Structure 1
């Protein structure tokens, strides 16, 4: 897969990280090298995301609070931050699906209210991480699958338009394949990107996503 796809996926993911941080009052910085926040990011989100290969690690770490708990998303799996006291937290693959005919299935429902977001976040397990300010961002679609009683049983976030990034996908019914297919049905007309680690790649691939290259997340 070309570096263009990986760079597009990294930019999309950085914009999503920026939106989450902004909803918590953290102002990010983005340029050709990386996205970053100068103070500790929200839980489960990195303090920096590289946006091209060959970023200088000293310059990158100077942009963040690089103390204990700092994390960096190395979008091209090419940094060596071990000498700076970091370890690899996990490795994953960027994934990509070109626009095209969607699989059979029903689209997901849009979450549009603070009450709906709270129910979605509770089912997801993210709690207070997902704040209502996200619903006011036109780049972001919080999507849910409801059961017959109206309870949230799965969902995902789709952010951006070209490409659209898929993140925070979950299913409480042990059928992630259905949610992956539903995401594609919901947004069949745009390129979709995201990332998954090895155990979670098969459902994405069965929905038409292909690996686009490795990434690493480093933690100090």
Structure 2
């Protein structure tokens, strides 16, 4: 399941980069872009354990600001001038019934995406081209005033649906967002990763941790 989650996450990173005019490369070892990825996105994602660190770094611009998502938490990039930015846990929820319908609604227009991205904090990171991708669902929790109290992105890749960019305007909205994610993807295996308080909310919604990952930053 970690391998499936890593491949889906890499495919989502590739879509975001392509929306910014960056072309990614994928093989059995990793996905990568040769120029710096957009903010909050890695320059490489490993896709199997045991990848040679030097080989990963040779695929990217490994200067200051470079980042690598170490999907199996088995790289040591310290000798190459990197430090661990954060550690997280891959999460998984198998298909199954949910207590109720999702409160999340689709974001379908560029205007809606702009307000959603502002609420998320990503601003211009999210390009309208993403809405045209058949495997992407941008979902929002309406705040009742024309804006968004939270949201998430679901990306269908292979046998799993990746959950990313989950956000909530306040702690009371977070359980509703995660419950909505579970309901919206109830027919597929849901995967993603979280850490800290966000991980606790995801686990409370029914997800379970399946393995560690790290993000390295130079």
TM category (shorter chain) comes to: over 0.9
| Partner SS state of residue 160, structure 1 | strand
Deviation of 1:107 (Å): 3.5
Alpha-carbon distance in structure 2 between the residues aligned to 1:103 and 1:81: 43
Matching residue of 2:143: 147
Contact 2:95–2:187, Cα closer than 8 Å, also in 1: yes
1:167 aligns with 2:180: no
1:104 shift after superposition? 2.7
Q: Answer yes or no: is the 8 Å Cα contact 1:103–1:207 preserved in 2.
A: no
1:129 aligns with 2:105: no
Structure 1: runs of 5+ lacking an equivalent:
none
| 2:77 is the counterpart of 1:81 | yes
CA distance in 1, matches of 2:111, 2:178: 24
Deviations 1:96-153 (A, max 9, x none): 0000011334341111110010010011010000000000111110001112222211
Q: Report whether the alignment pairs 1:60 with 2:60.
A: no
Deviations 1:38-67 (A, max 9, x none): 000100100000000010111111000000
Q: Where does structure 2 lack aligned partners over 5 or more consecutive residues?
A: none
Which residue of structure 2 aligns with residue 17 of structure 1?
Answer: 13
Query: C-alpha distance in 1, partners of 2:81/2:214?
Result: 15
How far apart in 2 are the matches of 1:46 and 1:151?
29
One of 97, 102, 114 as aligned partner of 1:106: 102
Q: Is 2:196 the counterpart of 1:198?
A: yes
Runs (4+) of structure 1 moved beyond 2 Å? 103-107, 147-150
* Normalised TM-score (structure 2): 0.97
CA contact (8 A) 1:100 1:189 kept: yes
Whether the aligned pair in 2 keeps the contact of 1:14 and 1:49 (CA below 8 Å) is yes
Q: How many residues align?
A: 216
Distance in 1 between the 2:31 and 2:102 partners?
Answer: 35
Answer yes or no: is the 8 Å Cα contact 2:107–2:113 preserved in 1: yes
Partner residue in 2 for 1:47: 43
Task: Name the SS of the counterpart of 2:16 in structure 1.
Answer: helix
CA RMSD after TM alignment: 1.0
The 3-state SS of whatever aligns with 1:159 is strand
CA contact (8 A) 1:93 1:198 kept: no
Report the equivalent of 1:187. Answer: 185
